Structure 1
Amino acid sequence: MTTTQVAHARALESRPLEQATVFGYASYLDDLSTIIRDYGTLYDWASSQPQPRALRGRAPVYVAALPTTRTAVVVRHSWHGGLLAPLTRDVFRRPTRAPLEFDHSRTLLELGIPTTEVLGYALYHAAFGLVRVDVVSRYVEHTADLGMVLANFAPSIECDAALAATQTLLERLARHGVVHPDLNVKNILLHTPPDAPPSALVIDVDVATVGGVSPVRAMERNVARLERSLHKWNRQFGCDMADARIAAFAKAALARVPAAASGSAL
């Protein structure tokens, strides 16, 4: 495959359907389009698969294998949060945040920052020009979020190793001036492949910004947000993260500010 063909294969493409418009990499559009024609939505398909693996978030997300490529994917239906969620529920104004999540996922991966790869998404037509949204990401095996680790819901991952991996992730984010304004313990995944130390991935990257701030400022902002989340998580679950340990974690992370990467501002 030539460089031009590779670039084309990794470009976002779209396909209009009767009930939706599906977006994604060219190699997955046929699968995503066929699923929507046969099942109505990607989420309905994923939830109906034999023995689907359900992961919890604001609502269940499902793991399933695409019918042709057999790629293991996570399918998430988007819901509003906040005080107005009971009214706004799952309808959004176009273009929604799905295109940002797709673009930011690709950008971070190109910068060498671990995150889940968004493969595509679908916008379903709703009343008054609004849409509902499903997002499809590549499934990463052997993961647990940092909150689960700290609350001892993932005993196979040692807390100290998880925190060290998180500091490495913070360093990588800072090097490229990446700021995640919602960097909480649920938005950091610990990946623990067999016979290897854990590594940390950042998720829900649609709200992230890349470049435009110094590594020092990026580290300060990300650490401050994560530090608040650690205190909140400790209050809720009484996990092994006393105030002194949280402060030591934050201090150690701030001491790891890297030099800026050339050309990282986008």
Structure 2
Amino acid sequence: MKIVIEGYDRFKVRDARVVALEACADEVREAMKDGTLYDFARSQPGARALMGRVPAYAVRLGSIAGDVVVRHSTRGGMVAKLVTDRYVAPTRGIVELLNSERLRTLGVRTPRLIAYVVYPAGPMLRRLDVATREVPNAYDLAEVFSAPLAKENKHEALAAVSELIGSLTHAGAHHADLNLKNIVLSREADVENRIRAFVLDVDRVRFNVPGDPLVAQANMQRLMRSLEKVRSRGEIFLEEADIRWLERRAMEMRG
């Protein structure tokens, strides 16, 4: 049974199956006229590479306001040596879309998904491209805290992270990979010019009881593992008191 998501359109481009925001469907079709969505993005003269396991690219996509980030989904860990970028159908594209829309409805800041594209890659196997809106002038937590910050800026950044954790708790959303790279901060994305935190890679989110303190605990434990790993290498400028404040504040908040 096909899942119908309000505001999104389903269509095919050659042998690829596309789910795209209705307002952006024509731009996605045009981008894919000569190849994959990811190939289009990385071939654009003004594309900005965003480094990860494989680069994602921030590009203009037709008349869509603002840039769009296009990434090609790849596997991590030991399984990556065997299948790299192939997934057993169905892919995580539909999970990411459903999670993104649910989180946004519940007040969690996350970039809206513009489109995902599924390509056949052999019997029962698929490849996946995903396009999301770019958070303007955003920096992940590893970048933000990679140099000393003024006290007021550091406090504002930590408060934004705790607010995000609180909103995830309010939604009952456990993010299994809530690391420093999967939270970005931006001031330009807020009309009040406040620093706001956004969560990425929401296909890893699973929903539990809204407001459950165990959700807050699990999210904080995952984030703390990532933070302590980077901090042990001397790559992040946060004091022990900053980390303890973030933990207390995040556990107290419910969105």
Same fold (TM over 0.5): yes
| TM-score, normalised with respect to structure 2 | 0.89
Q: Which amino acid aligns with 1:218?
A: V
Q: Is the 8 A contact 1:9 1:25 kept in 2?
A: no
Query: Could you tell me how far 1:87 is from its partner in structure 2?
Result: 1.6
SS of match in other structure, 2:46 = coil
Correspondence 1:63 to 2:58: yes
Q: 1:154 and 1:18 mapped to 2: Cα distance?
A: 50
Correspondence 1:204 to 2:201: yes
| TM-score, normalised with respect to structure 1 | 0.85
1:27-176 map, 5 Å: 27-38=23-34, 40-69=35-64, 71-152=66-147, 158-176=153-171
Q: 1:82 and 1:93 mapped to 2: Cα distance?
A: 17
* Matched residue, 2:219: 222
Q: Which amino acid aligns with 1:30?
A: D
Query: For residues 117-168 of structure 1, what are the alpha-carbon distances to aligned partners after superposition, in whole Å with 9 as ceiling and x for unaligned?
Result: 111110111122311111010122110011111112999x933221111011
Q: Is the 8 A contact 2:163 2:253 kept in 1?
A: no
Q: Give the 3 Å change call, closer, same or farther, for CA 249–71 of structure 1 in structure 2.
A: closer
Q: 1:138 and 1:153 mapped to 2: Cα distance?
A: 29
Pairing partner for 2:249 from 247, 252, 263 = 252
Correspondence 1:11 to 2:13: no
Q: Is the 8 A contact 2:148 2:237 kept in 1?
A: no
Query: Could you tell me how far 1:211 is from its partner in structure 2?
Result: 3.5
SS of match in other structure, 2:213 = helix
Q: 1:239 and 1:9 mapped to 2: Cα distance?
A: 41
SS of match in other structure, 2:127 = strand
**Which consecutive residues of structure 2, in runs of 5 or more, have no partner in the other structure?**
none
Q: 1:229 and 1:108 mapped to 2: Cα distance?
A: 23
Query: Could you tell me how far 1:92 is from its partner in structure 2?
Result: 1.0
SS of match in other structure, 2:20 = strand
Q: Is the 8 A contact 1:120 1:137 kept in 2?
A: yes
- When the two structures are aligned, how many residues end up with a matched partner? 249
Query: For residues 194-221 of structure 1, what are the alpha-carbon distances to aligned partners after superposition, in whole Å with 9 as ceiling and x for unaligned?
Result: 8722110111111112343543122111
Q: Which moved more, 1:222-231 or 1:13-22?
A: 13-22
Q: Give the 3 Å change call, closer, same or farther, for CA 154–37 of structure 1 in structure 2.
A: farther
Q: 1:175 and 1:108 mapped to 2: Cα distance?
A: 10
Q: Give the 3 Å change call, closer, same or farther, for CA 154–160 of structure 1 in structure 2.
A: closer
SS of match in other structure, 1:37 = coil
Query: Could you tell me how far 1:244 is from its partner in structure 2?
Result: 4.6
% identical aligned pairs: 33
Q: Which amino acid aligns with 1:51?
A: G
Asked which structure has the greater RCO (Cα within 8 Å, sep 6+), the reply is: 2
Q: Is the 8 A contact 1:115 1:203 kept in 2?
A: yes
Q: 1:153 and 1:33 mapped to 2: Cα distance?
A: 45
Q: 2:253 and 2:164 mapped to 1: Cα distance?
A: 11
Q: 1:154 and 1:50 mapped to 2: Cα distance?
A: 34
SS of match in other structure, 1:127 = coil
Q: 1:19 and 1:71 mapped to 2: Cα distance?
A: 29
SS of match in other structure, 1:241 = coil
